[in-house]
């Protein structure tokens, strides 16, 4: 929110939050006197603290700086209309504290006053926290929680793999996915190689058939390897704890898989009901996983970003340039929402397999000597501009339309095709796109301007 559009704040407050108790500092507009205090992190205490300002200032707006953009305290304060929240990045307050107190002196009341300085003197550098619609916020949390469970599953599978390498490495070559129910049941039944070799081969063959592995050649290969292979070790001091740990880890992985499936169903339900979902589902390689993540990344508040450049910088895809004298250094952006950067990076990587011009652009970047991830980030940089334009105009992506726009600008990449430009839109989940969408000619002009 620019300063010209901000409300006439009657007071400024800063909160140094903590797990059990929050320190605050307050200064009335036009006054030099500051008040300080603390309140406990309980629903009753938070409500009483927030309502005292509504009563004291007759419901007029109060600017509140807090060193987080999400969390229990922020969610609790969002319901009060008279509080306008300014999230402050922890690194911002940390660097400001180092500048003011080089000795490293620190305590909660002092930190609250430093945050108060930031919101009073430098709020033109801060963004007002503007909550998105309930539907969009729910989708944003769902896709983030899904990714957290996927990361947890990967971590547990890596631990299980490390353990199996100690006493039963052969099983890792017999199964494509350690997280599969077949592998879990196999290790429950035959946790070590000697126990497996003592089993009747016909029962092992039946096990694979019962669990959906019907390739006769692969089953015979497994049975031959079971007969011929040798145990890596016979030390019970290593094997017995390893068996227990692997069984436990695979149980956790199974529970995580069930949770991921539940989240997938919830994400699909929320996505299909969202009015903007048809935009992101139209992009090549998006699919049921990436399309909701792209939608969550952009949200519903189109006034939040004035240009694609802002989105590129905010998500961490745009690089950072540092210059001093004759020296110039362009490097990877470190301070950004990592999940958002990951979303666009992963989508760009998937689009290489689904979009011919994306593959061509990626190959051209690699030919220039860039590494894989640098080339994918460069592609993501282009995709954000296209996504942003479609999002702003409520327009689905059309590959032929984009190629025609590039041809009009004589862009070397991508190379245009002779495919006609359709003037139709995609219906998603039984819904039709907004009837106010622009014509193909208007969108072509927009894409030419943004390409």
pLDDT tens, 147-177? 999 999 999 999 999 999 999 999 999 999 9
Please write the tens of the pLDDT for every residue from 12-52. 999 998 889 999 999 999 999 999 999 999 999 999 999 99
The domain of 177 spans 136-270
Among residues 136, 206, 208, the alpha carbon closest in space to that of 176 is found at 208
The CATH number covering residue 112 comes to 3.30.420.10
89 three-state secondary structure:
coil
- pLDDT reported for residue 421: 33
Within a domain: residue 25?
yes
Rounded to the nearest integer, the mean pLDDT of the chain is 88
- pLDDT reported for residue 414: 56
Claim to verify: residue 125 and residue 158 sit in the same structural domain? no
How buried is 198 (Cβ within 10 angstroms: 0-12 exposed, 13-18 middle, 19+ buried)? exposed
Q: Tokens 């940089």, residue? A: 381
Query: How many domains does one find in the chain?
Result: 3
Query: CA 86, CA 3: separation in Å to the nearest integer?
Result: 13
Within a domain: residue 285?
no
Q: Is the dihedral of CA 366, 368, 371, 377 positive or negative?
A: negative
Query: CA 139, CA 142: separation in Å to the nearest integer?
Result: 5
Strand partners, 62: 11, 83
Q: Which two tokens stand for residue 389?
A: 């334009």
Claim to verify: residue 122 and residue 197 sit in the same structural domain? no
Please write the tens of the pLDDT for every residue from 234-281. 999 999 999 999 999 999 999 999 999 999 999 999 999 999 999 999
Within a domain: residue 283?
no
- pLDDT reported for residue 384: 96
Angle of helix 134-167 relative to helix 287-298, nearest 10 degrees, comes to: 130
Query: CA 270, CA 272: separation in Å to the nearest integer?
Result: 6
Listed residues 96, 131, 166: the one ending a domain: 131
The CA-atom distances, in angstroms, between 337 and each of 69, 313, 334, 391, 437 are: 11, 10, 9, 20, 31
Q: Are strands 320-324 and 34-40 parallel, antiparallel or unpaired?
A: unpaired
* φ, ψ at 384 (rounded to 5°): -60, -40
Claim to verify: residue 125 and residue 68 sit in the same structural domain? yes
Query: CA 207, CA 189: separation in Å to the nearest integer?
Result: 10
Within a domain: residue 84?
yes
Claim to verify: residue 118 and residue 239 sit in the same structural domain? no
Claim to verify: residue 381 and residue 318 sit in the same structural domain? yes
The CATH number covering residue 142 comes to 1.10.287
pLDDT for 434 beyond 70 = no
Within a domain: residue 282?
no
Contact (CB, 8 A) for 22 and 39: yes
Claim to verify: residue 141 and residue 250 sit in the same structural domain? yes
pTM of the model: 0.82
- pLDDT reported for residue 324: 82
- pLDDT reported for residue 413: 59
């Amino acid at each position: 929110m620019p300063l010209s559009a901000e409300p006439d704040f009657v007071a400024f407050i800063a909160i140094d939050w903590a797990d059990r108790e929050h320190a605050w500092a307050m200064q009335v507009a036009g006054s030099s006197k500051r008040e300080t205090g603390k309140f406990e992190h309980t629903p009753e205490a938070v409500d009483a603290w927030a309502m005292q300002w509504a009563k004291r200032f007759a419901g007029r707006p109060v600017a509140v700086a807090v060193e987080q953009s999400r969390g229990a305290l922020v969610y609790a304060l969002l319901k009060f209309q008279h509080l306008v929240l300014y999230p402050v990045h922890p690194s911002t307050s940390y660097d400001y504290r180092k500048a003011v107190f080089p000795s490293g002196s620190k305590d909660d009341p002092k930190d609250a006053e430093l945050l108060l300085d930031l919101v009073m003197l430098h709020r033109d550098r801060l963004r007002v926290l503007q909550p998105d619609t309930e539907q969009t916020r729910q989708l944003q949390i769902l896709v983030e929680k899904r990714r957290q469970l996927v990361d947890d599953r990967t971590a547990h599978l890596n631990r299980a793999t490390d353990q199996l390498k100690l006493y039963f490495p052969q099983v890792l070559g017999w199964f494509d996915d350690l997280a599969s129910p077949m592998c879990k049941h196999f290790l429950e039944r035959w946790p070590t190689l000697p126990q497996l070799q003592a089993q009747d081969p016909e029962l092992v063959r039946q096990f694979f058939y019962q669990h959906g592995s019907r390739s006769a050649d692969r089953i015979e290969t497994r049975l031959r390897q079971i007969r011929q292979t040798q145990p890596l070790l016979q030390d019970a001091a290593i094997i017995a704890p390893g068996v227990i740990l692997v069984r436990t880890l695979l149980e956790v992985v199974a529970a995580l898989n069930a949770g991921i499936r539940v989240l997938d169903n919830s994400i699909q339900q929320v996505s299909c009901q969202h009015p903007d979902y048809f935009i992101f589902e139209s992009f090549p390689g998006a699919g049921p996983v990436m399309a909701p993540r792209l939608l969550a990344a952009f949200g519903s508040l189109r006034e939040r970003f004035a240009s694609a450049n802002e989105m590129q910088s905010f998500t961490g895809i745009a690089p950072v340039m540092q210059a001093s004298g004759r020296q110039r250094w362009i490097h990877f952006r470190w301070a950004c929402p990592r999940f958002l950067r990951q979303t666009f990076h992963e989508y760009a990587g998937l689009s290489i397999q689904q979009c011919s011009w994306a593959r061509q652009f990626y190959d051209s970047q690699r030919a220039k000597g860039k590494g894989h991830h640098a080339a994918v980030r460069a592609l993501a940089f282009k995709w954000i501009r296209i996504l942003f334009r479609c999002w702003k105009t409520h327009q689905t992506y059309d590959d032929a339309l984009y190629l025609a726009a590039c041809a009009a600008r004589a862009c070397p990449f991508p190379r245009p095709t002779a495919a006609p430009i359709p003037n139709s839109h995609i219906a998603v989940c039984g819904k039709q796109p907004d009837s106010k969408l622009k014509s193909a000619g208007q969108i072509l002009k927009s894409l030419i301007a943004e390409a």
